[in-house]
Amino acid sequence: MSGRTRVILITGASGGIGRACAVSLSQAFPSQFVPEPLVLILSGRRQAELDETAKQCREGTVIETVVGDVSSEKDVEAMFALIKEKYGRLDLLFNNAGVDLLNSVPLEEADMAKFRQVLEVNVMAAVLCTKGAIALMKEQIPQGGRIVNNGSISATSPRPNSAAYTVSKHAILGLSRSTSLDGRKYGISCTQLDIGNAQTSMGGHAAKGCRQADGSIKSEPMMDVVNVGRTLAYLAELPLEADVQRLEILARGMPYVGRG
């Protein structure tokens, strides 16, 4: 992507992993390496929080904030129409938006309305944004791009009583693999970035105590969320000839295999 503007879209950029990734990307591509400015398109539900993310990014980065619901087909179509009209291309999509509304709730006690909401935000939002990204990436010149999906360790190893979140992240793995296969002919690669125990408002509960596979409650190791940002920056810097199918980053020592 050297020698021209890089356009990167991050969903769920209002805070947490999305904010950390936006800041890391803005620092990873200083102007002396990119003749044209980096464009970060930050998507989220709250304008004030998106503005705070933009404020923390490196000066000189072009920031476009888009307030909307990425599980809404109408909102996603409007966002991609804006990207196409204003920038004409998209180099990287980070499907990051997600919720966990039924943490530690047994499936037989789960509110099905909340279960569906988890699937809408965690799965359908990624599906809609991936659809928009592929449509743009396969038509742009030069053709191609990179899509990164926020997967989670739960895509492989579920926590007890986390059916909604686990189902959603297993679905993302299917989306990642299908996108990687179907995008091949257009020069589009797809990476599943599985994250474990990053310190955020959503994931920070693990430090206070999480239910383990044996039923006990234990505090788990955590890592600074900036490590996730650095990992996404690494993926963004790779030339498109290099493909990373799946990458895991987790707090050292966290329960993982079998969650034991």
164 is a domain residue: yes
Look at residue 87 in the predicted model and tell me its pLDDT.
Answer: 95
What pLDDT band is residue 56 in, cutting at 50, 70 and 90?
very high
2 is a domain residue: no
Domain assignment of residue 96, given as a range: 7-259
pLDDT higher than 60, residue 204 = no
Distance in angstroms (rounded) separating the CA atoms of residues 74 and 242: 33
16 is a domain residue: yes
The mean per-residue pLDDT over the stretch 230-241 comes to 95
222 is a domain residue: yes
pLDDT higher than 60, residue 151 = yes
64 is a domain residue: yes
Percent of the chain at pLDDT exceeding 90: 80
pLDDT higher than 70, residue 167 = yes
pLDDT higher than 50, residue 1 = no
What pLDDT band is residue 99 in, cutting at 50, 70 and 90?
very high
84 is a domain residue: yes
Q: How many domains does the chain have?
A: 1
When the pLDDT of each residue in the chain is averaged and rounded to a whole number, the result is 92
Look at residue 3 in the predicted model and tell me its pLDDT.
Answer: 46
223 is a domain residue: yes
Which CATH number covers residue 82? Answer: 3.40.50.720
70 is a domain residue: yes
Distance in angstroms (rounded) separating the CA atoms of residues 56 and 24: 10
What pLDDT band is residue 32 in, cutting at 50, 70 and 90?
very low
Supply the pTM of this predicted model.
0.93
Range in 113-127, 194-208, 240-254 the model is least confident about: 194-208
Range in 19-23, 29-33, 76-80, 112-116 the model is least confident about: 29-33
